[in-house]
Amino acid sequence: MGCLLGVLALLTPRFVLFILFVFTNYLSRAFDSWFWPTIGFFFLPTTTFAYAVAQNEFNGFQGIGLVVLLVGFAIDVGLLGGGARGRRRRLAD
């Protein structure tokens, strides 16, 4: 069950980014080119989505827009850190 939750946590932001890219212009309004959303899709998908929300809904990084971006980054780092912690625990056993 834990593996399923982990897989869903990793796939959900990428799925949302893909749907936004295909069916809306939400990402193109936030980013000037296709390069940064593509890199974000593979490495920091929640941060990429949070950046798009901050740009489109909160007019950039004043106040709540910055908080949204930092929360997205914390989620991405937490997902990566949780995987590293589990890997160390398995190697120690």
Cβ 69 vs Cβ 61: under 8 Å = yes
Note the pTM of the prediction, 2 decimals.
0.79
pLDDT tens string for the chain (93 positions)? 667 877 777 788 899 999 999 999 999 999 999 999 999 999 999 999 999 999 999 988 889 999 999 999 998 888 776 666 666 666 776
Could you write out the three-class secondary structure of 28-72? Answer: HHHCCCCHHHHHHHHHCHHHHHHHHHHHHHCCCCCCHHHHHHHHH
For residue 80, the SS3 value is helix
- Domain holding 43, by residue range, is 2-92
pLDDT at 83: 60
pLDDT at 85: 63
Total structural domains in the chain?
1
pLDDT at 6: 72
Dmax (CA) for the chain in angstroms is 49
